[in-house]
Amino acid sequence: MEERFIGSGIEPEEAPVPDSDGIPIKRRSSFAWVAIVLILALLIGSIAIIQAALKGHTRAAVPELPPAATRPTAASPTPVELSLSFREIAKAVKPAVVNINVTESVQSSPSPFSDLFGDGPGQARPQRRPTSTGSGFIVTPDGYILTNDHVVIHAEQIEVTLADNRKMKAKVVGVDQESDLAVIKIDATNLPTVVLGNSDDVEQGDWVLALGSPFGLTQTLTAGIVSATGREVQGAQYSKFIQTDASINPGNSGGPLVSMQGEVIGINTMILTGSSMSNGNVGIGFAIASNIARKVFDVLVRNGKVTRGYLGVTVMPLDAPTARAVCLEAESGALVYRVPADTPAARAGLRGGDVITAFDGKPIKAPRELTDAVAATDVGKSVRVDFMRDCDKKSVTLEVVERPADINAAMRSAPEDGGQEDETRAARLGITAQTVTPELAAQGKLSISSGALVKSVLPGSPAADARIRHGDVIHRIDRTEVRTAEDLAEAEKGLKSGEEVAIKIERDRQIVFVTVTVP
């Protein structure tokens, strides 16, 4: 009998039809929708994770650059403003710049700086008619003028032309050939002057102006920058130079190099030229730093000359093989090349091959440091000199004397052959040598009475590249003593290919080191 619900108003639900698995179809559909939603959520989450990972990877591979530096608050000058600055500096400095005309003595000796301005090396210069030979500038109202030594050193008469075209006779107050500076004076008062600035403040890239009389063209102004500071130039032992590309030519010598503050920070002295350059400017000029000029000026005005201390050694830089040969860990010191007789160094027992490591208690790292320290030492002072000799630390005390005016004595000849001893070859180095005999040692007045006398050097060999030559006496290779020619051959066998070694030799009765690269 069919059962019915009456009076409730609610019809009974139909029973769900089960599927083949026994699960009702309606319930199965609900599960499907839930599964789809979960899959979509997982897919979206995975995509987000992958995108985040890729984004992080991109940042790691290409790091962000730092922000641009803040620009200086002061605006750079425009070309017009820079030009106006040049004008004002020229107006302020030119009245103190002078032209120097010189009548030179007959057969005067050339200055050590002459080659840089075109005079042939070693040539005596005949008497010349008055010509424009240089420049200078007034530093005191009563007529003291700074210029170069090589402008006036051989002058018999000096005529100075001022900016207002007045011509006056000048006399030499003092010259210093070592720094190539000179002071001359004219009889006048209330003269316009320049200010010597602090050259230590000068930096590479600074604008500078050069004034002078290039090729006799008076009151010429050129502009450029500081190319370098602290330059050391061969032949100028006591000066450090400011290098500039401001045009400097013959006739500019002694003129001022001026900063943008209108102060003289250098004295134009030389240019780098060559025979193919017609002695003209190629953009490399040198000026003596004003701080050096100030010191020399004071001494010349007070004493008429500059007195420097003198030790009596010629030194050269220390390279790695030589440092190793004397048991120094670093290339720090001044290698003694020669010691002239009857000098403080010679009397104290210093000799070629020694490496000076300290002077008067101050460490010496380079030859220039020793040169400056000795020059600045008071004459008559006793000082201690520390040095290395064949791996032994030594020291001596000596008295500093005044540097002689001429210390370039001619070197004596090398030892002559004195026997018919058998020759031994050091083939890898390219040397043929013989053992030094007592007769050879006496004849050559050798400081060490043993060694291997070089008879010949093979052209193109490592020894030839190191400029070892006939007549040299080899005393040591690296740390191996060489007393005979056979010692030389044996020492050569222990050398490694490609190694750089220091060879201690006696040449012209002086001990020197040369560096050879072993093949």
DSSP, residue by residue, 459-474:
TTSHHHHTT--TT-EE
Does an H or E element contain 58, and which? helix 25-61
pTM: 0.61
Instruction: Tell me if residue 155 falls in helix, strand or coil.
Output: strand
Question: Distance of CA 173 to CAs 99, 176, 466, Å?
Answer: 17, 11, 46
253 catalytic residue (yes or no): yes
The Cα–Cα gap between 192 and 219 comes to 15
The alpha carbon of residue 355 and the mean position of all alpha carbons in its chain are separated, in whole angstroms, by: 21
Single-letter residue type at 293: A
DSSP one-letter code for 376: T
Please identify which of the residues 239, 253, 450, 461 carries the catalytic annotation: 253
The reported pLDDT for the residue numbered 420 is 38
pLDDT tens-place string over residues 143-192: 999 999 989 988 889 999 999 999 999 999 999 988 899 999 999 999 99
Determine the pLDDT at residue 194: 95
150 a catalytic residue: yes
pLDDT value at residue 381: 93
> Which residue is listed with tokens 């007959």?
106
Tokens 């899959």 — which residue?
A: 39
How far apart CA 76 and CA 126 sit, in angstroms, is 52
What span, in angstroms and rounded, lies between the C-alpha atoms of 429 and 435?
Answer: 17
Output DSSP code: residue 72.
Answer: P
d(CA 150, CA 287): 14
The helix (H) or strand (E) run that includes residue 159 is strand 155-161
What is the structure's pLDDT at 98? 96
Count of CB atoms situated within 10 Å of the CB of 399? 13
Q: Is 390 a catalytic residue?
A: no
Determine contact, residues 345/393, Cβ cutoff 8 Å.
no
Q: Active-site residue among 132, 135, 176, 180?
A: 180
In terms of residues, how long is the chain?
519
User: Of 150, 199, 354, 478, which is the active-site residue?
Assistant: 150
> How far is residue 322's CA from residue 501's CA, in Å, rounded to a whole number?
7
CB neighbours of 334 closer than 8 A, spacing ≥ 6?
315, 316, 317, 318, 355, 356, 364, 366, 367, 369, 370
Q: For residue 90, what are the CA distances in angstroms to 74, 186, 199, 274?
A: 24, 23, 19, 31
Distances (CA, A) of 1 to 9, 11, 169: 21, 18, 156
Q: What is the pLDDT of residue 52?
A: 60
Give pLDDT, residue 418: 35
Q: What letters, b where the CB count within 10 A reaches 16 and e where it falls short, cover 81-119? A: eeeeeeeebbeebbbbbbbbbbbbbeebebbbbbbbbeb
User: What confidence tens digit (pLDDT) does each residue in 391-402 have?
Assistant: 999 999 999 999
Q: What is the pLDDT along the chain (519 residues), one digit of tens a residue?
A: 444 443 444 444 444 545 545 545 555 556 666 667 677 777 776 666 666 655 555 444 556 655 655 545 556 788 888 889 999 999 999 999 999 999 876 544 444 444 443 343 344 444 445 455 799 999 999 999 999 998 998 888 999 999 999 999 999 999 998 889 999 999 999 999 999 999 999 999 999 999 999 888 899 999 999 999 988 776 567 778 999 999 888 889 999 999 999 999 999 998 875 544 445 567 888 999 999 999 999 999 999 989 899 998 888 888 888 888 888 888 889 998 778 888 999 999 998 889 999 999 999 998 889 988 998 898 999 999 999 998 999 999 999 999 887 654 333 333 333 333 457 778 788 898 888 888 778 777 888 889 999 888 876 788 888 889 888 899 999 888 999 988 898 888 888 888 889 999 988 778 888 898 888
- What's the confidence (pLDDT) of residue 329? 82
